[in-house]
Structure 1
């Protein structure tokens, strides 16, 4: 259980109780997609599987992937870097970020541009995570030569949010999945 003066894991330098924790309690409190993305990252650090599942867009049918989501949540998360966030003219929200985690002795970086939709949730509006893409940087060093990979750890099975093995740069669920 977090202490009252614990800093929020999202890296905001605010106390958890004044940052992501209120959104964990009531997701409609996120007024910007970046707030929801930070709360989802913090939920990973704090082991809040129910929150992560509940903040996927209903079309993602996250409940049927609860076990894989729980595996992701229970990784060792090391830090978050928000690169940019915006709400487009069409109302979609976008947040580009890098989330760092450790698997065994190796550290990895999940670099994603996430897309969020704001839709009714009861009597209020709520941001939901819908999907994301793995951006390619023009001067990025090829993955084989960097110590921190830009893709999640590889396992025997491809996770629905992992990069597609075909190399398209899309998530597996939006490509070959």
Structure 2
């Protein structure tokens, strides 16, 4: 069993994978946010493009979206969710981390989602770029004996790969 890449601690095949096959299965903005992050890990550019709101014209930006998707994303932390001014709007605040050339970067955003045609779509977001990149050190990548195993098995590190 592989744990989902979105950090939900659920199996991937019952968490984000079904949404990757049918985006309408995301019943809340947070589910779509998590599935979009998992799509970055699994390099599913088509899903990311398809879940942008039509007003974003994401197909025209597919190359730059693919560049982002193909970055080395490592983890997602959902900080909060909020309802919008209507039932068709929702917000998700999150931090997504990526590694590049020995540095860890944090993308911190409050994303806006709209529900149209029986599906949630990502529209836009407000970035918080106050977190500077930090060097990746052995200490920051060290896995504790009782931490979840990074292989995604769902077991503790000491009982799996440790």
Give me the TM-score of the superposition, normalised by structure 1.
0.72
Match of 1:127 among 120, 125, 135: 120
What secondary structure does 2:35 align onto?
A: helix
Residues 143/9 of structure 1: CA separation in 2 closer, same or farther (3 Å cut): closer
Note the C-alpha offset of 1:45. Answer: 0.4
Query: Alignment partner for residue 134 of structure 2, among 147, 166, 169?
Result: 147
What number of residue pairs does the alignment pair up? 134
DSSP-derived class of the 2:114 partner = strand
Out of 94, 106, 113, the position equivalent to 1:116 is 113
Runs of 4+ that moved beyond 3 A: none
Where in structure 2 are there 5+ consecutive unaligned residues?
136-162
Q: Distance in 1 between matches of 2:85 and 2:71?
A: 35
2:38 paired residue number: 42
Work out the CA distance in 1 between the residues paired with 2:50 and 2:26.
Answer: 13
1:100-111 equivalences under 5 Å are: 100-111=97-108
What TM-score do the two structures reach when normalised by structure 2?
0.79
The higher relative CO (CA closer than 8 Å, separation ≥ 6) is in 2
- Deviations 1:113-141 (CA, angstroms, capped at 9, x unpaired): 00000000xxxx000000000248xxxxx
Q: 1:58 aligns with which of 41, 47, 54?
A: 54
Aligned match of 1:27: 23
Q: What's the Cα RMSD here?
A: 1.5
For 2:140, the equivalent position in structure 1 comes to none
Which residue number corresponds to residue 163 of structure 1? none
